[in-house]
A and B are shown apart, each in its own frame.
Chain A
């Protein structure tokens, strides 16, 4: 069929095989095998473990952010985005695969977390830090409680993603109005649980790399970056989803304008949260908290901190201010790719100093293999889930309103 005929044909469930799916699975499997080989067969165990953690946090954060996004939009009863909602639900539907992808982290935990039994990192910890870890933090940072917490995290995420997507898919066939009511009732109820689980997961995965350092806003920081990345993926998918039975044919510039506005808003939100966290630690300047930032803002890590300030806030903020740019999907996609890259730098800045300390930024090949490994499997799995379903909620009562949405 010609593109014009494809665009005007009635929408059917998407039965094609996404072009990216098979390569994604292939690259993903190879990447994970290479990373595991890097961990077990070479002496760079710390590097491979931290690289894998970075990749895992990057992709699982986006998937959970998609779940939160669907729940937020249902709670707000937003109508403009309904044409985009299936993509968010599909992104969220990748969460179960992360249970499998979490296994390598358990295998590598000794090289990540000093509180893990038998961790070689424990010998590097002295004084007050060791005392805190042994007495004050032991009640939280131990294997039994960590296991319980992770069961809760993945249970809540899988349940929320499965429930929201399930109701939405059911509506595709039955068209029952009651399902919309149920989604809108379920969403505000699950949001506090999603917020708390993501906060504590970020504490467990990222903050406990340096157990002495604590920041209560850290969960929001991780969420802000992940949420922004999720909007970037949504923008990229929407811009590329053109062809038979794909929803990109019916999306208008008004939708892209809104996605651009949300990207701008969450660029600013990330900066706001990042600075809020920094200012309190900087101004209080107490020995337990300050070293975490001390490592990052002085010496060898200073350039990376500056790159984050200018590259994660100043540049994208002023670029996205342009109304003209937000109306052009191709240009907005370039910004989205850029923001996805800088989000990886953000996580690198969070994780890598725990490994190298004042030595500064280093590069290890597992950073690449782990990133494409976890990413490939997750993206492939989400694309697989998108098959044999409509690419937008065709029988949502507000789908027509969403399609003819114009800027107010």
Chain B
């Protein structure tokens, strides 16, 4: 069996969201990549500081919506016009206005599916374990702590990164190592 390659991160806690965002931006400008921020609530300017590309979720939602629309139109036309033609009140067998409510609902449903599952997929969720949980102090990320993780080559000395994070206002810095998935 191949030896598992372990990943390491330097974790730094900051006192306020503003300091965290500012530190993230400066670390990125220094050339650090693959960083992530953790906060108890959505972070203003967080994704800009991380330099994330525009989200793909809207596009997935649009594709979901269009899929729902096509599915609904095809399904109703097949059922009510071709497979089992029904004459309702003398209207034409292909009466598009009557198709619209179902088409609307299915478009919304599939767009919602697209958003929900698209977001899960893009965030690589569900992910029950991540080495950052090794640090007990990191638990504050879900209550009042603002954290930044910086990937770091396993086994190398992280002192330089730690110093830089402390210089940017980190209140505590730790290194975690583990197997990601």
Contacts and interface: CB of A to CB of B under 8 A. Distances in A.
Nearest to A408: B42
Interface size class of A (residues with CB under 8 A): 10 to 19
Nearest to B101: A279
A282 B62 CA distance: 30
B44 A406 contact: yes
20 contacts: A275-B97, A275-B100, A278-B97, A279-B97, A279-B98, A279-B100, A279-B101, A282-B97, A283-B89, A283-B97, A283-B98, A285-B89, A321-B58, A321-B62, A323-B54, A323-B58, A406-B44, A406-B45, A408-B42, A408-B44
Interface in B57-99: 58, 62, 89, 97-98
Contacts of A279: 97-98, 100-101
A62 B62 CA distance: 32
Contacts of B97: 275, 278-279, 282-283
Nearest to B48: A406
Contacts of B42: 408
Q: Label chain A's interface by main secondary structure.
A: helix
Given A279-B98, A283-B89, A323-B54, 14 more contacts: A275-B97, A275-B100, A278-B97, A279-B97, A279-B100, A279-B101, A282-B97, A283-B98, A285-B89, A321-B58, A323-B58, A406-B45, A408-B42, A408-B44
- Ordered nearest first, which 5 A-B pairs have the shortest CB separation? A282-B97, A279-B97, A406-B44, A275-B100, A285-B89
Interface of A: 275, 278-279, 282-283, 285, 321, 323, 406, 408
Interface of B: 42, 44-45, 54, 58, 62, 89, 97-98, 100-101
B40 to A, nearest CB: 15
A275 B100 CA distance: 9
A408 B58 CA distance: 16
B46 to A, nearest CB: 11
A279 B100 CA distance: 9
A209 B42 CA distance: 53
A282 B88 CA distance: 12
Nearest to B58: A323
Nearest to A322: B58
A283 B54 CA distance: 44
A323 B62 CA distance: 13
A275 B89 CA distance: 20
A108 B175 CA distance: 83
A408 B41 CA distance: 11
Contacts of B89: 283, 285
A89 B101 CA distance: 38
A406 B101 CA distance: 36
A265 to B, nearest CB: 14
Contacts of A283: 89, 97-98
Q: Which one of B42, B58, B97 has the highest number of Cβ atoms from chain A below 10 Å of its Cβ?
A: B97
B73 to A, nearest CB: 14
Contacts of A282: 97
Contacts of A321: 58, 62
A283 B62 CA distance: 30
Contacts of B58: 321, 323
Contacts of A323: 54, 58
B53 to A, nearest CB: 13
A257 to B, nearest CB: 13
A408 B97 CA distance: 38
Q: Which one of A278, A283, A285, A408 has the highest number of Cβ atoms from chain B below 10 Å of its Cβ?
A: A283
Contacts of B101: 279
A323 B58 CA distance: 9
A282 B58 CA distance: 34
Nearest to B62: A321
A13 to B, nearest CB: 33
A390 to B, nearest CB: 28
A323 B55 CA distance: 11
A278 B98 CA distance: 11
B106 to A, nearest CB: 16
A150 B134 CA distance: 72
A408 B47 CA distance: 12
A404 to B, nearest CB: 10
Nearest to B90: A285
Nearest to A407: B44
A54 B142 CA distance: 58
Contacts of B98: 279, 283
A283 B100 CA distance: 12
A285 B89 CA distance: 9
A283 B88 CA distance: 10
